[in-house]
Amino acid sequence: MPGRFLANSHSMTANLLLPGKVTFITGAGSGIGAAAARVFAREGATVVLTGRREERLAAVAGELRESGAEASYIVADVSRPEAARSAVAFVVEKYGRLDAAFNNAGIGGDRTPLHLMSDDVYDAIMDTNVRGVWNCLRHEIAAMLENGDGGGAIVNNSSVGGLVAIPAAAPYVASKHAVVGLTRAAADEYARQGIRVNAVAPGTTRSEITVDWFARNPGLEDAVHSMTPQARTAAPEEIAEAVAWLLSDRSPFLTGAVVPVDGGFVNQ
């Protein structure tokens, strides 16, 4: 019986995407980030969440612990360099290493014509969506270079707005194109050190950002559906599943890629 139990346990572990991986997720209190935390935990990972709203992080981490997963959180605004450094340091100090990171934190901003967009909106979007990824990449890569095996995997959350234009969202589109550039640059620079860096480009997903956009722009949701071959929006878990695969050892020869998870939107 013990031998049979061990064999079954080994088989179950072998079927997981992220067994024993120490993972780090930004913007993890809701939406795609919270969904990623649940998927990573289900796939055998240790999960460290970060974001700006402690009550949400605590709720997600508590849910994961109740399910039997190892989960922690640290409150941090990763658009601030020192906060990003401290968050990554927390992971390494607590668990001894960092294997995988999902740089998900981002904001959408108002849908406003470019010539009417305020500087404050532009600055807020670029600070979170670009500087936040930049800050995290620097410290995540440094931590992964200290791993005994020299490896690691990072996924940055871009958007279909990082591949094509979206009307009346110029700063958001610019920020998500910048995420694609950072992804490709980091992938090229650290490939020989065993660090893979990819991005996902979600289509319209039922996150707080899009729900807010739909509420403030009557008819927008129907318009989005009409432009998407699958004629629907994604659930956050559908994006998270793609991220988990990209971070796993099952995509070892994939780096510098930007994977649309968009129901066919950019293929039209």
| Per-residue CA distances from 14 to 39, 62, 64, 263 (Å) | 16, 26, 21, 30
- Asked if 172 is an active-site residue, the reply is yes
Q: How far apart are CA 202 and CA 185, in angstroms?
A: 20
154, amino acid identity: I
Q: Name which of 175, 171, 170 is nearest 159 in CA terms.
A: 175
Task: Give the number of other CB atoms < 10 A from CB of residue 56.
Answer: 17
How far apart CA 11 and CA 4 sit, in angstroms, is 11
Q: What is the DSSP letter of 205?
A: B
Contacts of 27 (CB under 8 A, 6+ apart): 33, 50, 51, 104, 105, 106, 157
Task: Find the catalytic residue in 73, 95, 122, 172.
Answer: 172
In 3D space, the residue among 119, 42, 28 whose CA is nearest the CA of residue 78 turns out to be 28
Beta bridge partners of 205: 234
Which residues share a beta bridge with 153? 100, 196
Catalytic residue IDs: 172
